[in-house]
């Protein structure tokens, strides 16, 4: 799991792998007093302690290097230059800009191999990443992708690879390979 935003990344570390109980639904521990604790709802482990899941504080990009992002504690983290930043600037709760390492799809494939499910939500470049992923020969069983308004382009690339669109809501497509 790759997440570039520090706030959601910490929440992900502390989220239950079985029932998905999130940070806001659990007892908060004071700074410096956090300890390993099983989920209070179902008793399962947190993602931060799962050896089968790799959590990466970073971004996925078309080029290797670093990506500049504007921080917020929710899903609005984005590039300072993006149109979404301008849209959300007043209400987004941005509190600064920072750099994160950007992994390419090739980096990810070389390190971790194939996947059954891929979710792509990268402000402004989701479709480009999906098209590159398909061109590289990745064929997961299921893909969820933010479309950036390019639904038809995605379907034109995915349909010949035996993907069927099972859900399209104007912002995301869910593609399943038959």
pLDDT in tens, 85-144: 777 777 777 888 899 999 999 999 999 888 999 999 887 789 999 999 999 999 999 999
Cβ atoms within 10 Å, residue 114: 11
Question: What span, in angstroms and rounded, lies between the C-alpha atoms of 154 and 127?
Answer: 7
- Asked whether the CA dihedral 51, 37, 34, 76 is positive or negative, the reply is positive
Domain 113-178 classified CATH 3.30.110?
A: yes
pTM over 0.75: yes
Give the position of tokens 């308004």: 149
The DSSP code for 14 is T
């Amino acid at each position: 799991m790759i997440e570039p935003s520090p706030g959601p990344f910490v929440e992900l570390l502390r989220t239950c792998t079985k029932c998905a109980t999130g940070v806001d639904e659990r007892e908060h521990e004071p700074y410096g007093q956090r300890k390993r604790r099983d989920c209070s709802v179902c008793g399962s482990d947190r993602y931060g302690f799962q050896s089968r899941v790799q959590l990466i504080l970073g971004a996925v990009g078309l080029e290797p290097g670093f990506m500049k992002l504007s921080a917020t504690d929710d899903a609005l983290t984005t590039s300072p230059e993006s149109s979404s930043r301008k849209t959300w600037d007043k209400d987004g709760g941005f509190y600064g800009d920072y750099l994160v390492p950007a992994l390419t799809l090739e980096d990810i494939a070389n390190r971790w191999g194939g996947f059954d499910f891929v979710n792509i939500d990268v402000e402004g470049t989701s479709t480009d990443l999906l098209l590159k992923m398909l061109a590289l020969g990745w064929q997961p069983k299921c893909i969820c992708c933010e479309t950036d308004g390019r639904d038809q382009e995605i379907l034109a690339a995915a349909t010949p690879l035996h993907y069927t669109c099972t859900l399209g809501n104007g912002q995301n497509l869910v593609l399943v390979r038959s």
